Structure 1
Amino acid sequence: MRIKKAGRLLLIFFIIAAITAGAWWWRQRKALNFVRYEEFGIDMPVNYTMHGIDVSKFQKEINWDAVQQMQVGKIRISFVFIKATEGITRQDAAFKRNWKKAGEAGLVRGAYHFFYSTRDPVKQAINFKNVVQLTHGDLPPVLDIEVHNNQPPAVIRSTARIWLEELEKAYGVKPIIYTNLRFYNTYLGDEFNDYPLWIAHYYQKQRPRVDRQWVFWQHSDIGRVNGIKTIVDFNVFRGDSAALMKLCLP
């Protein structure tokens, strides 16, 4: 009798799990509404209200007032991620200007570091801290981790965690992890599920196929914006303006 009862409870558990997984899958598969905006040069997921870009020195000199003032329909640029550092010594040549001008234009700013698991993570954290002064209203620091350099997942995870913990101590907030879908699943996994995720997944009309919540989605790398002469990456934030400000440094 006890065995039968245990079997029924186990069956109920699996049914509930299957229903929960099915509901999650349906929410992920539910079609988004994309609208083609010739001014931006790409299809935009209009289900989201907060749109942004990310830039580096490769976007050359940017007219940030033109970026902030551009509006097509209900779409406008609300936030920007700016490359600050790379490895243990490199600093993006355009960071200081981009950081200052984007802030003066009234955009919500975030700074990111391009990470190498083959370099000392503490020295990489110091490189970032020496360059970036985050204040109230800025987004948390970002770990851009997308190259493996032939390192095993265990090494990538351990070095990344050191950088993340160093930056959390420095700024008092959990850093954001930026990566692509394949890299996250292969090298990071669920060990970093407590960090906000910025996921890259291009040119498709469904939400990113990642088995956890994401905060930012980089959905295209060929967008156009007034004030920028080159193509640029486009992102959306999963929330409204109030939620975006809640994510920022207090």
Structure 2
Amino acid sequence: MRIFTKFLLGFMLVLAVACARTPARGPAPGPGANPQLGDSQPHAWSSGSPYGHQVHGIDISRWQGHIDWNQVRGAGISFAFIKSTEGADHSDPNFQRYWREAANARIPRGAYHYYYFCRSGAEQAAWFIRNVPREIGSLPPVIDLEWTNSRTCPRRPPPQEVKREASIFMDIVGRHYGQRPIIYTTVDFYRDNQLGDMRAEFWLRSVADHPRVRYPGQRWAFWQYTGTGIVPGIRGDVDLNAFAGSRADWARWLQTRLTR
């Protein structure tokens, strides 16, 4: 009996340690959002929560692995941005599969390009066009502008160069797809490069506070509010995003911004 008691106590100790190391599954987003969505590391929002927004979506890359897109759609996800390309010579190996599967599940989807500061905007635009189909009903293309930690390209060009080359990319890509690209960016990159004067819709990353606090005066269409989202049909954490308006606003936005 004494041996069994020691074993039981030891087992309970191991279990307690394991549970302590496992991140708690956070509560689902609140009113206005689908209750099946959640966050494994929920943030205590003080200046405005994303959970009251009616329209939520995901952005993904190869790291999400297998996705059950019908389950994702059933969970209330309204859109998906899929990583397609990076620089002028890299493509995400899961892009084509995700692109087809999301369409089959009737989830509006678009492609995003991870911008690389050691190739020109024109070169990167050509690479994006080579890899991303021009399909009726697709969301506008996205240019992902953020500082990278790439060992092959540690450059941080001045704001004038950043905006000039990014604008070249956007002009070329916009002409091809018939929709001007959305700019995705982060707080530090936006500030360092004074992106507020660029002609574009913005998709803003802000995981610690409302965009109106982190990007004063900047209008936005999409808000990436967490990188630890929980979505049925996707294993592990995933980025979650909110659309700026209501469901009716979303329907109107789609009417004007889908590729035709």
Partner of 1:249: 259
Partner of 2:122: 122
CA shift for structure 1 position 208: 5.1
Total equivalences in the alignment: 211
Question: Contact between 1:237 and 1:244, CA under 8 Å: does it hold in 2?
Answer: no
Q: Mark the runs of 5 or more structure 2 residues left unpaired by the alignment.
A: 1-28, 44-48, 149-154
CA shift for structure 1 position 118: 1.9
Q: Which among 44, 48, 52 is matched to residue 53 of structure 2?
A: 48
Question: Contact between 1:174 and 1:195, CA under 8 Å: does it hold in 2?
Answer: yes
| TM-score of the superposed pair, with normalisation by structure 2 | 0.75
What's the C-alpha RMSD, in Å, of the aligned pairs?
2.0
CA shift for structure 1 position 128: 0.6
Partner of 1:139: 139
Q: Letter of the aligned partner of 1:249 in structure 2?
A: T
Question: Contact between 1:118 and 1:151, CA under 8 Å: does it hold in 2?
Answer: no
Question: Contact between 1:83 and 1:113, CA under 8 Å: does it hold in 2?
Answer: yes
Secondary structure (helix, strand or coil) at the match of 1:98 reads helix
Question: Contact between 2:243 and 2:250, CA under 8 Å: does it hold in 1?
Answer: no
- Structure 1 residues 127 and 227, CA, compared in 2 at 3 Å: closer, same or farther? same
Once the two structures are superposed, residues 106-134 of structure 1 have per-residue CA deviations (whole angstroms, 9 ceiling, x without a partner) of 11101000001221221111111011113
Secondary structure (helix, strand or coil) at the match of 1:159 reads helix
In 2: Cα distance, 1:165 partner to 1:38 partner: 39
Partner of 2:207: 202
Q: Judging by fraction of residues, say which structure has more strand.
A: 1
Once the two structures are superposed, residues 49-73 of structure 1 have per-residue CA deviations (whole angstroms, 9 ceiling, x without a partner) of 1100000001111111111112xxx
| TM-score of the superposed pair, with normalisation by structure 1 | 0.78
Secondary structure (helix, strand or coil) at the match of 1:35 reads coil
Secondary structure (helix, strand or coil) at the match of 1:223 reads strand
- Structure 1 residues 57 and 204, CA, compared in 2 at 3 Å: closer, same or farther? same
Once the two structures are superposed, residues 178-200 of structure 1 have per-residue CA deviations (whole angstroms, 9 ceiling, x without a partner) of 001221122143330x2010000
In 2: Cα distance, 1:88 partner to 1:206 partner: 31
- Structure 1 residues 140 and 205, CA, compared in 2 at 3 Å: closer, same or farther? closer
1:91 is aligned to 2:86? no
CA shift for structure 1 position 159: 1.1
Q: Letter of the aligned partner of 1:78 in structure 2?
A: S
Q: Which among 69, 73, 77 is matched to residue 74 of structure 2?
A: 69
Question: Contact between 2:117 and 2:156, CA under 8 Å: does it hold in 1?
Answer: no
1:224 is aligned to 2:224? no
CA shift for structure 1 position 150: 2.2
Secondary structure (helix, strand or coil) at the match of 2:252 reads helix
Question: Contact between 1:208 and 1:217, CA under 8 Å: does it hold in 2?
Answer: no
Q: Which among 153, 160, 167 is matched to residue 173 of structure 2?
A: 167
In 2: Cα distance, 1:93 partner to 1:205 partner: 33
CA shift for structure 1 position 163: 0.6
In 2: Cα distance, 1:57 partner to 1:206 partner: 27
Q: Which among 169, 177, 184 is matched to residue 178 of structure 1?
A: 184
CA shift for structure 1 position 38: 7.7
Partner of 2:78: 78
Q: Letter of the aligned partner of 1:35 in structure 2?
A: G
Identity of aligned residues (%): 35
Q: Mark the runs of 5 or more structure 1 residues left unpaired by the alignment.
A: 1-33, 71-75
